[in-house]
Amino acid sequence: MKAQHRRNLLAVWLLAIVSCSKPPTNPNGTVSTTVTITPSGVTPKSVEVALGSRVKFVNNDTVEHEMGSDPHPDHTDCPAINQVGLLKPGEQRETGNLVIVRTCGYHDHEDPTNPKWQGTIITK
């Protein structure tokens, strides 16, 4: 009985660990679109991508931007977007692979309520 109980506890523990971990990334995920950051804001404001794709962010502004997933300040809706992080002028970085079908908002962490730094990524 004790051995069975230990196996059940181990199974629950392993399931909890797997449930809390990030989904595996596919290093072969393709960049399907690019979001450009300029002094005018982000363009395009909304992009649609295939499941497993990545989005490239390019900072063509003269100041830094720290792109993160909604909601602010937790950035928990789409952790893959948080991989973009801080972009200095001229830098570019990709999201992680977008592996869940959903719509995700993003924003500049340094100016989260300014609509010109906000957009959405729709994963289909």
pLDDT over 50 at 25, yes or no:
no
Distance CA(53)–CA(95), nearest Å, equals 9
- In the predicted model, what is the mean pLDDT of the chain? 84
pLDDT at position 30: 81
Ordered by where they begin, the domains of the chain are 24-123 (2.60.40.420)
pLDDT over 70 at 2, yes or no:
no
Largest CA distance in the chain: 67
Confidence of residue 28 (pLDDT cuts 50, 70, 90): low
Q: What digits encode the pLDDT tens for the residues 42-88?
A: 999 999 999 999 999 999 999 999 999 999 999 999 999 999 999 99
